[in-house]
């Protein structure tokens, strides 16, 4: 087997949450292009068909599963449906997430809990559901954020706490499951990439953040998708418990 063959995902099945828009769509498409069949899950069921069509256009099979990751029963159903359709789950991408920019003195318990329930708790429920059926050699990839490692000038206590929590969850699941179950668990911490969330920010804020990017430009989905495919593949078979920062240098400025 050549070195480039290690990056292929032929014969594997991936489950991607938050797959109805943005990075989730890019992740599903990239995994399919690398050879995986893909289960796409999200709350917005109407948009999942578009992502599934991109997977099929890449020559792979797709299954769309409406699911709210904040509900453990939805996570279990997504895993059950994936197993019923494909008979295996080799890759889990915990991408579903929301954010707020509310000052800590005014953030309501409901606002804080909603972010934690989706970003952190939802990743745990989905990892639990998939971890029960994953075989040795499988890979879980949690999508964290540089805001789990640094700050960015906005009041984002709930979002930052959830993403920092994902980094801790990644380390702990790796130490529980890599040796015993053969499941690698890693995280990606993206920097500033265009998304529905960043589209809500004031342009002045985005310009200010841009000064912290060493390359001067926000990231493109392909930068994250390439890292994701690597972590999902045998090319990263000796990598577990790690948080891979993909931020154009933001965290070193």
d(CA 246, CA 189): 6
**Residue 65: beta bridge partners?**
41
Q: Which two tokens stand for residue 35?
A: 């050879």
**Residue 253: beta bridge partners?**
none
How far from chain centre, in Å, is Cα 206? 22
Q: Point out the residues that are catalytic.
A: 159
d(CA 134, CA 151): 35
Q: How many CB atoms lie within 10 A of CB 3?
A: 7
| DSSP strands (E only) in the chain | 13-17, 37-42, 62-66, 91-94, 139-143, 184-190, 243-246
Buried b (16+ CB within 10 A) or exposed e, 18-37: bbbbbbbbbbbbbbbbbbbb
d(CA 131, CA 141): 12
């Amino acid at each position: 087997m050549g070195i480039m063959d290690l990056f292929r995902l032929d014969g594997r099945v991936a489950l991607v949450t938050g797959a109805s828009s943005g990075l989730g769509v890019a992740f599903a498409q990239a995994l399919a292009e690398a050879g995986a069949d893909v289960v796409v899950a999200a709350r917005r069921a109407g948009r999942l068909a578009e992502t599934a069509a991109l997977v099929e256009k890449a020559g792979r099979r797709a299954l769309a599963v409406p699911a709210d990751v904040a509900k453990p029963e939805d996570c279990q159903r997504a895993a059950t449906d994936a197993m019923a359709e494909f008979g295996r789950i080799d890759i889990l991408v915990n991408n579903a997430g929301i954010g707020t920019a509310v000052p800590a003195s005014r953030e309501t318990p409901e606002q804080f809990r909603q972010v934690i329930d989706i970003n952190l708790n939802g990743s745990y429920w989905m990892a639990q559901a998939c971890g029960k059926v994953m075989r040795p050699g499988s890979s879980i990839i949690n999508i964290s954020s540089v805001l789990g490692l640094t700050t960015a000038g906005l009041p984002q206590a709930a979002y930052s706490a959830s993403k920092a929590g994902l980094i801790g969850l990644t380390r702990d699941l790796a130490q529980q499951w890599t040796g015993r179950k053969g499941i690698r668990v890693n995280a990606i911490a993206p920097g500033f990439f265009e998304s529905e969330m960043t589209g809500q920010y004031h342009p002045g804020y985005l310009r200010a953040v841009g000064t912290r990017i060493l390359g001067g430009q926000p990231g493109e989905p392909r930068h994250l998708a390439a890292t994701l495919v690597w972590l999902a593949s045998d090319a990263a078979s000796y990598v577990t418990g790690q948080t891979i920062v993909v931020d154009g240098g933001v965290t070193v400025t």
